[in-house]
Amino acid sequence: MSLAETTALAATYARYPVEFVSGSGCVLRDADGAEYLDLLAGVAVCNAGHCHPRVVSAVQDQAARLMHVSNLFYTEPMVRLAERLSARSLGGRVFFSNSGAEANEAAIKLARKARRGGDFLVAHGAFHGRTYGALSATPQESKQAPFAPLVPGFTAVVPEAMADAVGPQTAGVLLEPVQGESGVHPIDAEVLRAVRAACDEHGALLIFDEVQCGMGRTGTLWAYEALGVRPDAMTLAKGLGGGMPIGALVTDPGCADVFEPGDHGSTFAGGPVVSAAAHAALDVLDDETLLASVRALGERMVEGLRELPRVKTVRGRGLMVAADVDADAPPLVRRALDEQRLIINATGPGTLRFVPPLVISEAEVDEALRRLAAILG
Ligand SMILES: Cc1ncc(COP(=O)(O)O)c(C=O)c1O
pLDDT tens digits along 154-189: 999 999 999 999 999 999 999 999 999 999 999 999
Where does the pLDDT of residue 62 fall: very low under 50, low under 70, confident under 90, or very high at 90 and above?
A: very high
Mean pLDDT of 313-336: 98
pLDDT in tens, 81-132: 999 999 999 999 999 999 999 999 999 999 999 999 999 999 999 999 999 9
Using CA atoms, how far apart are residues 277 and 279, in angstroms rounded to an integer? 5
State residue 1's pLDDT score: 81
Beta bridge partners of 257: none
User: Average pLDDT, stretch 322-348?
Assistant: 98
Mean pLDDT over each residue of the chain, to the nearest integer: 98
User: Annotated active-site positions, please?
Assistant: 127, 209, 238
**CA-based end-to-end distance of the chain:** 36
Side chain identity at 364, as an amino acid letter? Answer: E
Cα–Cα distance measured from residue 356 to residue 313, given in angstroms and rounded to the nearest whole number: 19
Q: Is 125 in the pocket of ligand 1 (CB under 6 A)?
A: no
Q: Which atom of ligand 1 is nearest to the CA of 238?
A: 10
pLDDT in tens, 184-217: 999 999 999 999 999 999 999 999 999 999 999 9
CA distance 108 to 96: 14
Give the confidence band of 300 by pLDDT, cuts at 50, 70, 90: very high
Give the closest residue to 205 by CA, choosing from 172, 159, 254, 250.
172
Dihedral pair phi/psi, residue 164, rounded to 5°: -70, -25
Report the distance separating Cα 302 and Cα 324, nearest Å. 12
Q: Is the minimum distance from the CB of 211 to ligand 1 under 6 angstroms?
A: yes
Tell me, using a 6 A CB cutoff, whether residue 176 lines ligand 1: yes
Residue 343 confidence (pLDDT):
98
